[in-house]
Amino acid sequence: MSGNTVEEWNAYYASGEYRQHWDYSHPSSELVTFVAAGSWPPGAAALDVGCGAGREAIFLAGQGFHVTGVDLSEEALRIARDRAEKAGVHVEWKQGNALELPVPDASVDLVNDRGCFHMIGEEDRPRYAAELARVLKPGGKVLLRGCREVQWEGQKFVLVTPEAVERHFSHAFDLSPVLPVQLITDSMPEGLNANLAVLRKK
């Protein structure tokens, strides 16, 4: 994995610093649109990988999905559990690594990745792509979003480019066009300059 250790992620969440960088009060418009436009079976299974404090996993649960949220940080999952309880929805929260997902083979209809892939180093990206292919049912889809360009000094994100999407996912997935999008957070209403792709397991 690129970037931070488990201890560093826990510290960001325990201190509340996450609110200053990547927290958001509402599910993203791109996820809402993706769900609305899809044809999902009743009780479809969704996986939010790198779910953080749980906002989008909670949204998916509210739409009738059976949701699993996976994150490295126990502190993030503690916040997510509290939020889910307040929202009155059930999500199965699991502490785990995106490179070794605690999810059975071919059990998921939808994977939500909002900023997980851009935290994974180039050397680990083939393993991540293989894990998504492993857990998805045939025809299952991934909503993939991540940073497309360097915006500030010291930025740690590994860019999500059309070339990276093609290189790592084309063997197991049919790919949509890679389109620009702004990832909005409460602290950054102008958004993170990102790319979005929809991947469909072959």
Q: CA-CA-CA-CA torsion for 99, 75, 60, 199, nearest 10 degrees? A: -20
pLDDT at position 10 is 65
Mean pLDDT of all residues belonging to the chain: 92
Residue 114 tokens, joined: 């909002």
pLDDT band at 110 (very low <50, low <70, confident <90, very high): very high
Interval 22-45 mean pLDDT: 91
Interval 83-108 mean pLDDT: 97
| 158-33-24 Cα angle (round to 5) | 55
* High-pLDDT (> 70) share of the chain, %: 95
Helix boundaries (H) for the chain: 6-15, 29-37, 55-62, 74-87, 125-135, 162-169
Going by C-alpha positions, the residue among 140, 144, 151 that lies closest to residue 38 is 140
pLDDT band at 190 (very low <50, low <70, confident <90, very high): confident
pLDDT band at 1 (very low <50, low <70, confident <90, very high): very low
Residue 153 has pLDDT above 70, yes or no: yes
